[in-house]
């Protein structure tokens, strides 16, 4: 269309005579400062936060080049931001208020209008246009790329949930009078900008233009902008937008040092462990080899080649590789892919491998694409000359349906029979009741004869198997009652069969497997009752040779029997470890009883198995990717090795500025929780210490549910005191201070006992301590180091108090109080993924607008992150205000609802064990997120 002889395009004016001769635009920088305090969108900008905003008041006509001039009617604009929104305010002089477009997304540039353009990324094309006219009508658009359809295509592409308010100083659309002007105030939630990654991070630079049309009766409109649009009078010419820097929130000057601004903690001496070194340490094997996620290894009989089963990703399919057994080996040769994307768990070689070339794999997958998953034993043939596996020779020997605890490891006995493990076939607490079910092949050690197959089969059942001919028992059974047997081995000298078994809630097991044994799962978990109401099979329960509480092992990995020469103390020992803690043990059995059992090493590995090299020396498999995984030998710890100089007193820790005053170093952060753990009335104070390391990322990994994740050498401090008068610090006497610290990837707890003079505290022995408190008439238990890990469980992600729901509260820092989310944000302690929470909040808002759950999810996906646009940034800021995040009620606050108080108490005091896989055999689910009907404590009969 044409207005007053000037060609008008949507949202801009093109002046041909001036657009041809472009001049370089000068960079113009502005600040979008943090909005401190709430802002009411009323068109007035009366809040104190606006006083701190940078004025943007140089609106001009830069495309006039040498004739460029300020706009005739002044505009004064401001921008602010916070976690949830971008705020704008513009006050405009206007002698003739004119706005007759009332349709949302109408052609507002035909009116007096204020326009905002934001381009979040210089590398991506997408940008936004927002307009508000003097009548309060709005236009909002996202343009994924300029020139791809413009106004007609994108004008109704929503939803946008921004708010505006207009205040007029004059009469609208009365063209004969004289007006003073108008103002507009607005709030654009970051969810409106999710298509380009949403909210900026602190100090990020965006590009933008604030623009205006000002109409006068019988005159062409005057256009003006704050951006250096020198080349042409187009508000869409984003190459010449101004730059906008997002300024972080300021510190509260009332906060003490170390909280107002980050203070690096450089004094911590809480490093390592106070305990003496273990007898062995790992040393890298095949130092030049980059191997990802190795699972199993075995030596090829009669040569110096090893076969390795490994994965490209931690949950992906497996490939069998050949590795030449020499220290300089730098590569592996792929030999075989597991069929149909399956995962192989173990391999072994036929006793007559030299003549027949048979090798066997245990794996889990599908025999046919549409079939359920099965655990399968497959035989292949080896080419001795080429050192390859003939994939076409595959013969499936035995299989059974299984999708979860699959077993699948195997080895030949000295009797020539093949021993194979099977799990209970599920992924939880034996939900299909297979542990004591003798009618299926699951939850067992199987023994089969592969050399004398029965007619129509690829194996036969040995006649001396313990249950042959007994009705209701699969005859392949050698032993039963296993949950998830992860590794089986046969001692090549004695024929003893060993199995490592993954436990469920509290215990991990090692079994010395004997003919006909019943290991009790799931009536028992190892040597301990699990489901007491479940009927034990027809044979008595046999306890494991060793079991480990989850305070020291959480996913046990069976191993091999060592008969090498480099580690003479370990000759004849079954070596096994733990995937989660990286610990390695050895155990010896004389056929009747255990005669030796020892913790050998504590590694940082994700142990997936053990193997022997071509010389019979022990190899440990570390199931990690990124070049970190691979194989390791064990070597004796040098005699000169000494325990780390772990602090034996609080005064040696480097965390206290003054122990007697219980005053911490400035870089140690105090915190408090919504729902404190029960401590028999003791006063508690809590602190977080993350030591500084040059160049290292020392931020905390946020988690929406459960505990946050912390870097190595983090120390969580909690001190306990008794007060003669509750709440009176003058009557306070400190009893205990606990350190919970993450060292080399593992958490460990240590307790310190305060002296009578209240000047210092000393480290308590590893086994803990019971004392009678002088003058208090009560006993106090200082927990052992293993006791700490009972509550600080894997299911709780180890840390208990530092969770979103616990920390969602104000904290009194003495000189001022501040919400703890704000403190963590300002100190730069957090790394949060922005998009998941922001998308969930958008869904909640859409539901609040009346959308159904399905429609809200659809809209959030449609108008969420777009693939070719700026991506969400990792941020130090929460995606929303604290009220949008979970908060635990205080059980001791009578103003809270009674059930909420009870649920909160159970959550913090009980749910670290009584949740799924948390270690609570009562089968209660007591976490606050559990459905009320699933608690399993209401209206239940007590046995």
* Cβ atoms of residues 97 and 112 within 8 Å: yes
CA distance 707 to 528: 29
- Asked if residue 126 has pLDDT above 50, the reply is yes
**H helix intervals, 322-366:** 353-356
**Averaged pLDDT for residues 559-573:** 98
- Burial (Cβ within 10 Å: 0-12, 13-18, ≥19) of residue 941: exposed
Q: Would you state the pLDDT for residue 232? A: 92
Name the token pair of 621. Answer: 């498999």
- Asked if residue 695 has pLDDT above 60, the reply is yes
- Asked if residue 769 has pLDDT above 90, the reply is yes
Q: Please, which pLDDT band fits residue 942 given cuts at 50, 70 and 90? A: low
- Burial (Cβ within 10 Å: 0-12, 13-18, ≥19) of residue 451: middle
CA distance 377 to 375: 7
Q: Per residue in 322-351, pLDDT tens?
A: 999 999 999 999 999 999 999 999 999 999
Q: Per residue in 346-378, pLDDT tens?
A: 999 999 999 999 999 999 999 998 899 999 999
Closest to 842 in 3D by CA, of 191, 28, 64 = 191
**Averaged pLDDT for residues 794-802:** 85
Q: Would you state the pLDDT for residue 751? A: 97
Q: Residue 757 carries which DSSP code?
A: T
- Asked if residue 12 has pLDDT above 60, the reply is no
Q: What is the mean pLDDT of the chain?
A: 92
- Burial (Cβ within 10 Å: 0-12, 13-18, ≥19) of residue 251: middle
Q: Would you state the pLDDT for residue 22? A: 36
Q: Would you state the pLDDT for residue 24? A: 44
Q: Please, which pLDDT band fits residue 16 given cuts at 50, 70 and 90? A: very low
* Cβ atoms of residues 818 and 582 within 8 Å: no
Q: Which are the contacts of 852, defined by CB distance < 8 A and separation ≥ 6?
A: none
- Asked if residue 918 has pLDDT above 80, the reply is no
Edge-first strand listing for the sheet containing 594-602: 556-561, 574-578, 583-589, 594-602
934 or 844, which is more confident:
844
> 834-848 and 853-862 helices cross at what angle (nearest 10)?
130
- Asked if residue 315 has pLDDT above 90, the reply is no
Q: Please, which pLDDT band fits residue 873 given cuts at 50, 70 and 90? A: confident
CA distance 834 to 836: 6
Asked which of 14-28, 145-159, 226-240, 896-910 is least confident by mean pLDDT, the reply is 14-28
Counting other chains too, the contacts that 676-681 makes at CB distance below 8 Å and 24 or more residues apart are 676/908, 677/800, 677/801, 677/908, 677/909, 678/905, 678/909, 679/720, 680/778, 681/722, 681/726
Q: Per residue in 388-425, pLDDT tens?
A: 999 999 999 999 999 999 999 999 999 999 999 999 99
Q: Would you state the pLDDT for residue 474? A: 98
Percent of the chain with pLDDT over 70: 95
**Run of H or E including 607:** strand 607-612
Q: Would you state the pLDDT for residue 14? A: 38
Q: Would you state the pLDDT for residue 27? A: 62
CA distance 751 to 741: 11
Q: Would you state the pLDDT for residue 23? A: 41
- In Å, the largest CA–CA distance within the chain is 111
Q: Which are the contacts of 850, defined by CB distance < 8 A and separation ≥ 6?
A: none
Closest to 479 in 3D by CA, of 425, 405, 420 = 420
Q: Per residue in 74-122, pLDDT tens?
A: 999 999 999 999 999 999 999 999 999 999 999 999 999 999 999 999 9
SS3 helix, strand, coil % of the chain, rounded to 5?
10, 35, 55
CA distance 105 to 159: 12
Q: Per residue in 809-849, pLDDT tens?
A: 999 998 889 999 999 998 999 999 999 999 999 999 999 99
- Asked if residue 294 has pLDDT above 70, the reply is yes
Q: Which are the contacts of 848, defined by CB distance < 8 A and separation ≥ 6?
A: none
**Run of H or E including 837:** helix 834-848
Q: Please, which pLDDT band fits residue 643 given cuts at 50, 70 and 90? A: low
Q: Please, which pLDDT band fits residue 923 given cuts at 50, 70 and 90? A: low
Q: Would you state the pLDDT for residue 644? A: 67
Percent of the chain with pLDDT over 90: 80
Supply the DSSP string of 609-631, one letter for each residue: EEEE-TTS-EEEEE---TT--EE
If you search the block for the tokens 């976690």, which residue do you land on?
A: 83
- Burial (Cβ within 10 Å: 0-12, 13-18, ≥19) of residue 772: exposed
Q: Residue 851 carries which DSSP code?
A: -
Q: Per residue in 263-290, pLDDT tens?
A: 999 999 999 889 888 999 999 999 999 8
- Asked if residue 10 has pLDDT above 80, the reply is no
Burial code (b: 16+ CB inside 10 Å, e: under 16) for 283-315 equals eebbeebebbbbbbbbbbeeeeebbbbbbeeee
Q: Please, which pLDDT band fits residue 794 given cuts at 50, 70 and 90? A: confident
- Asked if residue 911 has pLDDT above 90, the reply is no
* Cβ atoms of residues 338 and 319 within 8 Å: yes
Q: Please, which pLDDT band fits residue 660 given cuts at 50, 70 and 90? A: very high
Closest to 421 in 3D by CA, of 371, 489, 496 = 489
Q: Please, which pLDDT band fits residue 17 given cuts at 50, 70 and 90? A: very low
């Amino acid at each position: 269309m044409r207005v007053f002889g000037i060609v008008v395009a949507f949202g801009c004016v093109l002046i041909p005579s001036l657009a041809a001769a472009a001049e370089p635009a000068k960079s113009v920088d502005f600040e979008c400062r943090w909005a401190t305090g709430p802002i009411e969108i009323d068109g007035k900008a009366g809040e104190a936060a606006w006083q701190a905003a940078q004025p943007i008041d140089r609106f001009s006509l830069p495309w006039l080049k040498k004739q460029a001039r300020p706009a005739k009617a002044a505009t004064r604009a401001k921008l602010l931001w916070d976690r949830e929104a971008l705020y704008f305010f513009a006050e405009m002089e206007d002698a003739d208020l004119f706005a007759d477009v009332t349709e949302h997304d109408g052609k507002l540039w035909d009116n007096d209008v204020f326009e905002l353009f934001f381009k979040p990324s210089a590398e991506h094309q997408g940008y936004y246009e927002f307009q508000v006219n003097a009548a309060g009508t709005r236009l909002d658009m996202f343009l994924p790329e300029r020139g791809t359809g413009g106004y007609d295509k994108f004008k109704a592409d929503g939803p946008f949930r921004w708010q505006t308010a207009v205040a007029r100083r004059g009469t609208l659309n009365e063209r004969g009078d004289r007006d003073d002007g108008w103002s507009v105030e607005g709030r654009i939630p970051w969810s409106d900008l999710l298509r380009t990654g949403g909210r900026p991070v602190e100090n990020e630079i965006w590009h933008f233009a604030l623009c205006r049309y000002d109409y006068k009766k019988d005159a062409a409109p005057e256009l003006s902008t704050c951006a250096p649009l020198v080349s042409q009078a187009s508000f869409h010419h984003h190459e010449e937008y101004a730059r906008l820097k997002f300024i972080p929130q300021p510190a509260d000057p009332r906060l003490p040092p170390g909280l107002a601004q980050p203070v690096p903690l450089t004094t911590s001496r809480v490093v390592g462990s106070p305990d003496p070194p273990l007898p062995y340490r790992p040393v890298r094997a095949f130092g030049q080899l980059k191997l990802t996620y190795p699972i199993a290894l075995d030596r090829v009989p009669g040569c110096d080649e090893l076969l390795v089963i490994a994965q490209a990703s931690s949950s992906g399919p497996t490939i069998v590789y050949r590795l030449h057994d020499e220290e300089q080996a730098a590569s592996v040769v792929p030999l075989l892919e597991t069929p149909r994307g399956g995962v192989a768990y173990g391999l072994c070689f036929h006793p007559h491998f030299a003549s027949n070339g048979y090798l066997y794999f245990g794996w889990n997958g599908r025999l046919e694409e549409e079939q359920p998953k099965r655990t399968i034993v497959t035989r292949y043939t080896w080419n001795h000359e080429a050192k390859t596996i003939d994939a076409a020779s595959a013969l499936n020997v035995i299989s059974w349906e299984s999708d979860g605890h699959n077993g699948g490891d195997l080895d030949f006995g000295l009797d020539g029979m093949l021993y194979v493990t099977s799990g209970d076939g599920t992924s939880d607490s034996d939900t299909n009741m297979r542990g004591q079910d003798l009618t299926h092949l699951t939850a067992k050690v199987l023994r089969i004869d592969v050399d004398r197959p029965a007619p129509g089969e690829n194996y036969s059942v040995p006649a001396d198997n313990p249950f042959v001919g007994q009705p209701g028992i699969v005859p392949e059974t050698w032993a039963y009652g296993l949950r998830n047997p992860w590794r089986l081995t046969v001692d090549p000298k004695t024929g003893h069969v060993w199995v490592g078994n993954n436990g469920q809630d509290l215990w991990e097991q090692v079994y010395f497997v004997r003919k006909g044994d019943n290991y009790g799962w799931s009536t028992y978990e190892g040597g301990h009752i699990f489901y007491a109401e479940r009927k034990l099979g027809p044979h008595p329960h046999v306890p494991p040779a060793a079991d480990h509480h989850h305070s020291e092992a959480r996913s046990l990995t069976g191993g091999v029997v060592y008969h090498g020469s480099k580690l003479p103390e370990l000759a004849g020992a079954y070596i096994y470890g733990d995937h989660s803690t990286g610990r390695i043990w050895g155990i010896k059995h004389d056929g009747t009883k255990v005669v030796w059992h020892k913790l050998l090493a504590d590694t940082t590995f994700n142990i997936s198995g053990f193997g022997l090299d071509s010389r019979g020396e022990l190899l440990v498999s570390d199931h990690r990717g990124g070049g970190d995984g691979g194989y390791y030998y064990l070597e004796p710890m040098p005699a000169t090795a000494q325990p780390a100089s772990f602090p034996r007193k609080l005064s040696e820790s480097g965390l206290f500025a003054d122990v007697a005053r219980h005053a911490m170093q400035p870089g140690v952060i105090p915190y408090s929780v919504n729902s404190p753990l029960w401590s028999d009335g003791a006063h508690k104070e809590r602190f977080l210490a993350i030591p500084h390391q040059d160049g290292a990322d020392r931020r905390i990994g946020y988690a929406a549910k459960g505990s946050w994740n912390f870097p190595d050498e983090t120390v969580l401090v909690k001190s306990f005191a008794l007060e003669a008068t509750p709440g009176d610090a003058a009557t306070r006497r400190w009893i205990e201070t606990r350190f919970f610290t993450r060292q080399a990837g593992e958490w460990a707890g240590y307790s310190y006992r305060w002296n009578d003079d209240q000047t210092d505290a000393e480290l308590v022995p590893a086994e803990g301590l019971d004392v009678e408190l002088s003058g208090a008439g009560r006993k106090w238990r200082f927990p052992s180091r293993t006791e700490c890990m009972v509550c600080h469980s894997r299911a709780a992600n180890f840390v208990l108090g530092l969770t979103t729901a616990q920390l969602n509260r104000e904290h009194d820092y003495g000189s001022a109080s501040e919400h703890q989310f704000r403190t963590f944000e300002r100190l730069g302690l957090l790394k949060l993924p922005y998009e998941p929470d922001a998308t969930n909040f958008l869904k909640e808002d859409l539901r609040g607008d009346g959308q159904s759950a399905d429609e809200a999810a659809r809209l959030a996906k449609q108008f969420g992150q777009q693939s070719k646009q700026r991506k969400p940034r990792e941020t130090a800021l929460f995606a929303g205000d604290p009220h949008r995040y979970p908060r635990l009620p205080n059980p001791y606050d009578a103003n809270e609802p009674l059930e909420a108080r009870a649920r909160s108490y159970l959550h913090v005091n009980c749910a670290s064990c009584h949740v799924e896989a948390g270690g609570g055999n009562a089968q209660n689910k007591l976490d606050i997120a559990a459905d009320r009907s699933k608690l399993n404590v209401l209206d239940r009969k007590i046995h």
